[in-house]
Amino acid sequence: MKLEQKSIVRNYFTQAYSEKTPSKHEWTAGTASPELIELVWNQNIKKGSKVIEVGCGIGTEAVFLAVRDMEVSAVDISESAIKTAKQLADVYGVNVDFRVADALSLPFDNNEFDVFCDQGCFHHLTNEERPLYVKEILRVLKPGGMLVLRCFSDKIPGGPQPRRISSSELIDTFAESFNLEHMERVLSFSTEQRQLPLGWSTIWFKA
């Protein structure tokens, strides 16, 4: 995508969160994904871990992690989404460092986080942005840190956005800097537009 197309994507989410209630967004599940829940239940992500989530939306997964005793920071480009996320954290009585920020320029220190979570951010990036994204993940993750990446897969019927991602694209993007631990296609929430869509659930470790 060119810069103009990139702006369209970001403007879309900024507008969507400001104009619709969370239940009207087809990507809002009301809970953390089964894959993330399993990682926490099995203590692959341990209590006390310092976690960052990018593209956090209304904060469902960030709040889940905070409830499970993680130290959580979370960012989204939508000010409206972050406002709702803070309200959700207040309901559960947990502290999450929510910020309006860009995943390509994170307001955090080097080697700050044990875990980097992305559910639905990567598949909106342009080819040109992908190396910048990887560089930023590497910057904020501690040595040996975990990347939990979930995105649309190429098994979902076409459409310009979100982009449909192949396994080879994921490997080409991340394998030079990360060790792949796990990759599988998983069911995500279906909508009227996409019945039983398939996404990628992947786990990587900083090399």
Burial of 143 (0-12, 13-18, 19+ CB in 10 A): exposed
Structure tokens at 101: 């920020």
The structural domains of the chain, with segments of one domain joined by +, span 3-206
**Bridging pattern class, strands 198-206 and 178-187:** antiparallel
State the residue for tokens 């309006």: 100
| Cα distance between residue 201 and residue 178, in whole Å | 15
Q: What is the reported pTM? A: 0.84
Q: Which CATH architecture has domain 3-206?
A: 3-Layer(aba) Sandwich (3.40)
pLDDT in tens, the chain (207 residues): 444 455 556 665 566 555 555 554 454 555 788 999 999 999 999 999 999 999 999 999 999 999 999 999 999 999 999 999 999 999 999 999 999 999 999 999 999 999 999 998 999 999 999 999 999 999 999 999 999 999 999 987 766 668 899 999 999 999 999 999 999 999 875 556 556 668 999 999 999
